[in-house]
Structure 1
Amino acid sequence: MEKFDAIIIGSGQGGNPLARKLAKKGLRTAIIEKRLIGGTCINDGCTPTKSMIACAKAAQTVREAAQWGIYLDQHSVSIDLPFIVERKNKIVTQFRNGTIRSLENEPDISIFYGTAAFSGIRQVSITQPDDKVITIEATNIFINTGAATIIPEIPGLSEIPYLTSTSILDIKQIPPELIVLGGSYIGLEMGQLFQRLGSHVSIIEPGPHLMSREDADVAAVVKNMLETEGMTIHTSSKPDKISGTDNTLSLDIVSGTSRKTITGTHLLVATGRRPQSAELQLSNTNVTTDEKGFIQVNDQLETTCPGIYAMGDVKPGPAFTHISYNDHLLLYKNLFENKQLSIKSRQVPYCMFTDPQLGRIGLSEKEAADKGYPFKVACLGMDKVARAIETGQTTGFMKAIVHAATDKILGAAIIGEQGGEIMSVLQMAMAGDLTATQLKEMVFAHPLYAESINNLFMTLEK
């Protein structure tokens, strides 16, 4: 049995940088990956989807060129999906190979490929691709196994071919009619991507509005912008039964007391993600999970078994790549720099990469109300933003929640061109305890989108 100072299970955006930091301290570190180095972000998530979304945006810009006085000889856009997929694959390979090199260049890192399972509190068995099983042990073990697509129990679903957010990235033909189960971030990003590539997309969302964690007015703006592009969106609609032939899928959906059937050629399941904890055989440790399989951790990411930690999507909480990365920083600083950092005190920004983007930070209006804060809402349509008017990108709005007594910013939602970048400006303002009044009076370069932050907070004077 080979002994290490640390074992990291999973090579995602938390595991890889943690492994390198530990190795640079001279700690013998094992990193175990059952599939591809880089985890979901590089291989199936952020990198490939944003690469393809960029292509879809280019197609949409060409279609809408006339609004800028640019006229094309052809009347339609020709999409080369194999080229788009190959471009995506090259970028993914570039990122993955860079990560592999960074790990292999550290002499104190050993990479093991295979499926990991605990055989004891400090022991991990690895079933390798050739079915050979080896066992290693370490004092500290870090779990970074991520999450996978939830496949809902819908009658008939197991009997038809369906796509996930992973498999749809490698299809060779554009689906003529794509039905998307799930109206949250992944479903909407993928839906708009394929709508712009030439599919007709229908979104099926059981909740009363898209993106259940967002305010209703934010969801309404997103719904309208997607419908304007030709997507069909069914909210308050629960999938009830699905059937299919070689060329057609039929999905029964129930909305209240009414029932209807919609048809399509392809189905994408985007109904959420589950933690990949089942294969770990945690019963051989003192590590506990909740009813959904998420590994339970304290505010410093230690599990119920001392010396075993969890980071990224396998634990409860926000499931974002940047949170997984921040998890590794928190762990390293607490364990090796004697810090007392807590996941409870960090900011949680995120962005949905539809076009235009939705950037979010802090509390929503509903969350602020639920917490009992006295607050004011600043709101400014993108059609009132000079830069947006000049560039023809007026879809969306800016919204900020401001504490009525302290004038501090509690949260913001930005739907618009470069919405994530504008949100990041507000995030830094929140980190620096700047007030809405200070931002209203701050000098921004003209005519940036960020300059509209002045006008956003001027709306509080009305």
Structure 2
Amino acid sequence: MSATYDAIIVGAGQAGPALAGRLTAAGMRVALVERHLFGGTCVNTGCMPTKALVASAEVAHLARRGADYGVQVGGEVTVDFPKVMARAHTVTMNARRNVERWLHGMEQLTVLRGHARFVAPDTLQVGEMTIRAPRIFLNVGGRAAVPPLPGVDGIDYLTNTSILQLDTLPRHLAVVGGSYIGLEFAQMFRRFGAQVTVIERQSRLIAREDEDVSQAIRELLEAEGIAVRIGAECIAFAPHADGVAVKVDCRDGAPEVVASHVLLAMGRRPNTDDLGLDRAGVAIDERGYITVDDTLACNVPGIWAMGDCNGRGAFTHTAYNDFEIIAANLLDGDHRTLSQRVPGYALYIDPPLGRVGMTEAQARASGRPLLVSKRPMTRVGRAVERGQTEGFMKLVADAETKRVLGAAILGVSGDEAIHGVLDLMSADQPLDALRWAVPIHPTVSELWPTVVLGLQPAEDD
């Protein structure tokens, strides 16, 4: 059985359904192939369920701090873990159903369930069906990486996917990987009542961030009772009567951590190894990511890659922007490129880290003259009023062009307040545009003009 379409989309993550909507609205006959769950990582194992869990963890944390606000909650605060997980599942299921309903309601769209593999540059096999199109868009996402660490095959471990299926709270959760995914799970499970140890190979947490950010985040987590083990260069696993023994080989502390559960949070890998890309001649890099140019086009004409599988962004918002770039170029007569995108993201611990552009270390490495300003959250009225004064705001700018190069907010509402700087950078406006803005009081964003006024030439390391 075979069929021909104007376009084929492989994967129903963040970029795929939106692109299907634009292409069908333009009159094209489109096939969308999905082999597993509609909505992709964000809906099913990423943003939506995890941020629902973060919200529950924040409520538990604030309830325990009730007395600080003059509120008596009465007795010990407890967490109904199965109910917490059920709430997260409900958020996911509702979002997934909405995506399916949207897709099945599109005219000109054929939804196919199954595993798509290339048999030629313009042809895919889906089960017993062969489908062809002059335009093929790959939106296949990624999954947790499981490095071949000693003993890993002999233990039961969790990933960011399987941990969402737990129905009982771990007694002691060892999180192997001190970066974004690992730290979010570490804090939420600590707030749910588990003992938590974070184990990181490198000399500090989230090493891609500036050292002051890494250190402040470590202090935040340790203040909540999370044990942090850095410099774990020889991680290995072995079964133990109480769960799993994790060899850490750190400079300080016991050489072994015994935990009831182990979460592997050591990065992601693209779902590209079983697409038959070699049969289409599609190039990939050494990590398996599909190579794309500045417009998301692959080396083979008529094939594009969007989202996590192209290695050009690991977030829902970058995947969606991939769709926007492709749609603008194909359908709107525009010329949009990846290089026009200002990188921004957040770490959803509490308080969150909002980041945009370069880190201070990256800006220094560029060799340009810099202006830097940093203000503690204790200077932010909104943070003081909410009793959440941990963290700081930092701005890095080019001393010659007077353009912002990057910014960070580790603090309450940092994930929202960072957008003032992101928008400034996207519009390519000078520092004065932020200096003379009149932010609303009381907000976190109202400190940005003050931060701009505090810019000083960067001191040499």
TM-score normalised per structure 1: 0.96
Deviation at 1:41, TM superposition (A): 0.6
The one-letter code of the counterpart of 1:64 is R
Deviation at 1:109, TM superposition (A): 0.8
Paired position in structure 2 for 1:351: 346
Paired position in structure 2 for 1:382: 377
Paired position in structure 2 for 1:64: 65
Paired position in structure 2 for 1:130: none
Residues 252 and 259 in structure 1, CA contact (< 8 A), matched pair in contact too = no
Given the alignment of the two structures, is residue 11 of structure 1 paired with residue 6 of structure 2, yes or no?
A: no
Residues 176 and 265 in structure 1, CA contact (< 8 A), matched pair in contact too = yes
Moved more, 207-216 or 41-50: 207-216
Paired position in structure 2 for 1:442: 437
The one-letter code of the counterpart of 1:24 is A
1:360 to 350, 355, 368: 355
Paired position in structure 2 for 1:274: 269
Paired position in structure 1 for 2:97: 97
- Counterpart CA distance in 2 for 1:228 and 1:101 is 45
Deviation at 1:440, TM superposition (A): 2.9
Deviation at 1:2, TM superposition (A): 0.6
Count of residues in Structure 1 that have an aligned counterpart in Structure 2 = 456
Q: Match of 2:440, SS?
A: coil
Q: Match of 1:398, SS?
A: strand
Give the fraction of aligned pairs with identical amino acids, expressed as a percent: 36
- Counterpart CA distance in 1 for 2:419 and 2:91 is 25
Per-residue Cα deviation, 1:274-316 (whole angstroms, up to 9, x for no partner): 0110110111111011111111111111111110110101012
Residues 239 and 251 in structure 1, CA contact (< 8 A), matched pair in contact too = no
> 5 Å matches for 1:303-452?
303-452=298-447
Deviation at 1:336, TM superposition (A): 1.9
Deviation at 1:246, TM superposition (A): 5.2
Per-residue Cα deviation, 1:154-185 (whole angstroms, up to 9, x for no partner): 11111111111011112011111000011110
Residues 2 and 135 in structure 1, CA contact (< 8 A), matched pair in contact too = yes
What stretches of structure 1 of length at least 5 have no aligned partner? Answer: 128-132
Residues 204 and 238 in structure 1, CA contact (< 8 A), matched pair in contact too = no
Residues 303 and 310 in structure 1, CA contact (< 8 A), matched pair in contact too = yes
1:244 to 236, 239, 244: 239
The one-letter code of the counterpart of 1:421 is E
- Counterpart CA distance in 2 for 1:283 and 1:21 is 29
- Counterpart CA distance in 1 for 2:241 and 2:124 is 45
- Counterpart CA distance in 2 for 1:277 and 1:418 is 36
Q: Match of 2:242, SS?
A: coil
Given the alignment of the two structures, is residue 188 of structure 1 paired with residue 188 of structure 2, yes or no?
A: no
The one-letter code of the counterpart of 1:33 is E
> 5 Å matches for 1:32-43?
32-43=33-44
The one-letter code of the counterpart of 1:441 is W
Per-residue Cα deviation, 1:172-206 (whole angstroms, up to 9, x for no partner): 11111000011110000111110110111111111
Paired position in structure 1 for 2:280: 285
Paired position in structure 2 for 1:149: 144
Residues 341 and 426 in structure 2, CA contact (< 8 A), matched pair in contact too = no
Paired position in structure 2 for 1:227: 222
- Counterpart CA distance in 2 for 1:448 and 1:233 is 32
Per-residue Cα deviation, 1:308-349 (whole angstroms, up to 9, x for no partner): 110101012221111100001111111122222211121111
Residues 313 and 319 in structure 2, CA contact (< 8 A), matched pair in contact too = no
Deviation at 1:439, TM superposition (A): 2.4
TM-score normalised per structure 2: 0.96
